[in-house]
Amino acid sequence: MDTTLQDPLVGQLLDGRYRIDARIAVGGMATVYRAVDTRLDRVLALKVMHPALATDTAFVERFIREAKSVARLAHPNVVAVFDQGAEGDYVYLAMEYVAGCTLRDVLRERGALQPRAALDILEPVLAALGAAHRAGFVHRDMKPENVLIGDDGRVKVADFGLVRAVGTVTDTTGSLLGTVSYLAPEQIEHGTADTRADVYACGVVLYEMLTGGKPHTGDTAAQVIYQHLNEDVPAPSRAVPGLAAGLDELVATAMARDPDVRPRDAVALLACSRVAREALTEEQLDAMPPLAVTEVRDTAEDRTSVIPRVLPPDQGTAHHTSRLEMPPPPPPGRVRGGRGPFVAVPRRGLLAALVGLLLVLGTGTGVWYINSGQFTHVPSLLGQTQKAAEKRLSEAGLDVKGVGHAYSDTVERGTVISSDPASGERIRGNDAVKLVISRGPEIVKIPDVEGLSLPDARRELKSAGLEQGMVTREFSEETARGEVVRTDPAVGTERHAGSAIALVISKGSPVDVPDVTGLSVTDATDALAEAGLKAKVLPDRVHSAVAAGDVARQAPAKGQEAAEGDAVELTVSEGPRMIEVPDVTGKNVDVARSTLEEAGFEVKVDRPFLSFGDTVASQSVDGGEKAAEGSEITIRTKGL
């Protein structure tokens, strides 16, 4: 049955602009439609929050945060957001329409992919996430459902609905929002997520692409969570024999249970992926996965949902696994619709059961009907001005029992943030409703943290209602090593509460790196110590013109700047490489010179005083003998 025909929005013009043509997908928070922007005459995707959630301020703020966050990411692998608005109970985002399918659709149809195809999908995903991470955001819900593959082959990341600023703490009283199969251990155990949580989820996605299945599975979400916390990821090659060891290592690196061991963000993981690809042969990249494809079914592990968090031991006496009180399974009537399930509630059956219960209790349908007539529902008030909200309440026969005010980053100043009772709740017809009106975003000044250590600066920002953002380091003659040089934006600048503030930390006064090439390791170490630097001798040696055992090269090089206490990497010489000298006697001088130089030698031409012709008569090292690479070979022309 085509459920699109039953959708009340299909065929409607939303907000006087967007004509909704068809339903694409239904998820737990919103429905996605294909629509036409009648002003610009272009096809786009319209993501409309479920009306039942539109009365929940937290959900609406998260929904609007997605629009603001993604609108800042101008990247070819991120689904663009064009507009955000609301009409009545419908809150929506207007987004780029990608004709194609999701990675979940591909995995469901094909199972495991060839390594080349898996990396071809992973790398643009990491490029998109890398742009988000470097802009200060974490996706927090990476999974195949949120990877779109266009008919033209383009890969795009969608659904930044759970996006958060880097450095903010997502810590609730025992629950978190996400998709069980892709949650990093720290998300489950501590309720926190930074860029490394996205790295972990990408490791899960890569494992799925390489094997056709998830690394951690179970009959319940609790079993999956237990494995995330207590078991290392199995090597993909155990499920698909023959996969290259480099792919096992890439998955293990991304899915390390300790976040400090993982690449710090998607940019770093992208670099690891490219190194792994370079190490694979063409045969390894094009290795065919097993023909058998395991049936992929939508489960509770695949849905974004509220999940009870595992509390630390000091917050409960029970063992971790005993705290996993998972939400009950969804009711029947689920309709598949692309990137998520749609829960259809059998309302008529529910009403019949309720009436039957009342009859059994002796109240009778007549009494039930009379009592229900004394109640009404609070109308939709979110986003309305105070005056408009009071008018709606009056029209519904309700009074205003008070007006409060609160800050909001997403609800416009002077409009309703929430009400008590909330919109949609049942209320007696002669009762009153309290309104909470937005003051707009809370604005705070960036405190003066210059000269403080990084931990102290972080505490000062926190107490001011701000978060630490990206940390960079630079040399400073005035500021001691490890202290804050400046903030970005500058001290005193006004920003929304919760904003991430970048910090520049001093590396101390710069030190000019001395030239230690050609010295023994001992002498080079002493020279560096005199300059306030340390020597780090690398294990691998190289052939060079420098004598064996002496320093062949250094990094940083002579004249570059380093911070006091920094290490200079020293590469020790193995001595010159001995190579065979070509025989060039009897050849033209120019030809002989070219031949010797191509072999790796310096060339000197000796012409006798009474020489004649340009033919080589002799050479200082005979052809066939060996000489040090880079050494000088003298060739002599004929003479009297």
Quick: pLDDT tens for 512-524. 999 999 999 999 9
The model carries a pTM of 0.48
Q: Which CATH number fits domain 510-572: 3.30.10.20, 3.30.2420.10, 3.10.129.10, 3.40.50.10490?
A: 3.30.10.20
Phi-psi region of 397 (alpha: psi -120 to 50; beta: other; left: phi over 0): left
Query: Would the pLDDT of 447 be above 60?
Result: yes
Query: Would the pLDDT of 342 be above 60?
Result: no
pLDDT of residue 218: 84
pLDDT of residue 99: 86
- Token readout for 512 is 């000019």
Active site residue 141: yes
Cα separation, 472 vs 421, in Å, equals 47
Catalytic residue among 89, 105, 141, 194: 141
Q: CB neighbours of 11 closer than 8 A, spacing ≥ 6? A: 20, 21
Look up the CATH number of domain 351-438. 3.30.10.20
Query: Would the pLDDT of 9 be above 60?
Result: yes
Which class in CATH covers the domain with range 443-506?
A: alpha beta
Backbone φ, ψ for residue 51 (5° rounding): -55, -35
Give the residue range(s) of CATH 3.30.10.20 domains in the chain: 351-438, 443-506, 510-572, 578-639
Give the residue range(s) of CATH 3.30.200.20 domains in the chain: 1-97
State the residue for tokens 């290795």.
287
Nearest to 198, CA basis, from 116, 134, 155, 153: 134
| Percent of the chain whose predicted confidence (pLDDT) is above 70 | 82
- Token readout for 335 is 């309709």
CA 608 vs CA 399, 470, 637: distances in Å:
116, 69, 7
pLDDT of residue 337: 31
| Mean pLDDT for the chain overall | 80
Q: What is the CATH architecture assignment of 578-639?
A: 2-Layer Sandwich (3.30)
Rg (the chain; Cα; Å): 34
Query: Would the pLDDT of 236 be above 60?
Result: yes
Quick: pLDDT tens for 284-306. 999 988 754 444 444 444 545 44
Quick: pLDDT tens for 551-599. 999 999 998 888 888 899 999 999 988 999 999 999 999 999 999 999 9
Eight-state DSSP code of residue 320: G
Q: Which CATH number fits domain 101-316: 3.40.640.10, 1.20.1630.10, 3.40.50.300, 1.10.510.10?
A: 1.10.510.10
